Homo-oligomer: A and B are copies of this chain.
């Protein structure tokens, strides 16, 4: 559920009037996303998404995200494209919040991705990595290995209220990952949150990628690790190596992996699992009574982490380079 901000008629008319998008025909709040308020806008020219950025997004990061979308769209990637205002600005203000208008991307996310969807995702992610080269913006990954311990410290002793022993288990994993986190892998723009709900399909064809509000500069292979976790586990917690192979095959058909990237996959998968375990744990412990949003289960990612701890080499997943 994600409409946090009410917009008055006058504010909306003034805002839309600042863009060369034709006559406003409809404006409906969308019940999706948890970070921002999103509205589907029809004009007599086209459909658009109007996003109001709520508190969780750092306004200083917005130019990075919006310019990146413009850069990627110029390169031919299918993603929401920011519409410049008549003044040439990608970022405006509406109802006291930073706001942007982007093109509407047709397509639907797949609730239960199949193997062919994973292959398409791999290809699109590699294209994103290649298309991001040459983008001049830089944003450090706020949730990279250096950000995990501060997040864990904020959860503190309350971690064990979710599952006894969880705090100690996370602490050990942090020690392991911090000691020898890969630092020499190829880096560039990564999406960093390519979960199924951010990948649109029309039938079996991938129609575009959305929601770049975690995008940053980090190791390409870390983006792959995030996706292996998000797309290649079954509901019962089992790793589906067929899906993982399809994802990697799709990816490497566009951008081959270096041997260092390939070798780093088990560790990157552990790190990616810990990152989502930690943010979900933090959200779980922070959610106020009676909140509108149900937090996601952190323990789903503990299971994934434990699976990756049993894996020494990428070959041990059953993956081929």
Chain A residues near B (Cβ < 8 Å): 1-3, 8-9, 12, 23-32, 40, 42, 47, 104, 106-108, 110-112, 202, 289-290, 292
Which of B23, B40, B110, B289 is the one whose CB lies under 8 Å from A40?
B40
Cα distance, A8 to B110, chains bound together (Å) = 9
Are A106 and B42 neighbours in the complex by a CB distance under 8 Å?
yes
Query: Is A40 in contact with B28, judged by CB distance below 8 angstroms?
Result: yes
Interface contact A31-B1, CB-CB below 8 Å: yes
Q: Which residues of B contact A202 (CB under 8 A)?
A: 23, 25
Chain B residue nearest in CB terms to A291: B290
Are the C-beta atoms of A26 and B111 separated by less than 8 Å? Answer: no
A107's partner among B3, B25, B104 (CB-CB below 8 A) is: B25
Q: How many copies does the complex hold?
A: 2
CA distance A30 to B31 in the complex (A): 5
CB of A108 within 8 A of CB of B26, answer yes
What residues of B have a CB within 8 angstroms of the CB of A289 in the complex? 290
Cross-chain contact B290 with A9 (CB below 8 angstroms): no
Give bound CA distance, A289 to B290, whole Å.
8
Bound-state Cα–Cα, A104 to B32, Å: 20
Whether A9 pairs with B110 at a CB distance below 8 angstroms is: yes
Partner pick for A29 among B26, B27, B32, B42, CB 8 A cutoff: B32
Task: Please give the distance in Å from A30's CB to the nearest CB on chain B.
Answer: 5
Q: Out of B27, B47, B107, B108, which one reaches A108, CB within 8 Å?
A: B27
Q: Which of B1, B24, B106, B110 contacts A25 (CB 8 A)?
A: B106
| Residues of chain B with a CB closer than 8 A to A31's CB | 1-3, 28-31
A8 to B111, Cβ gap below 8 A?
yes
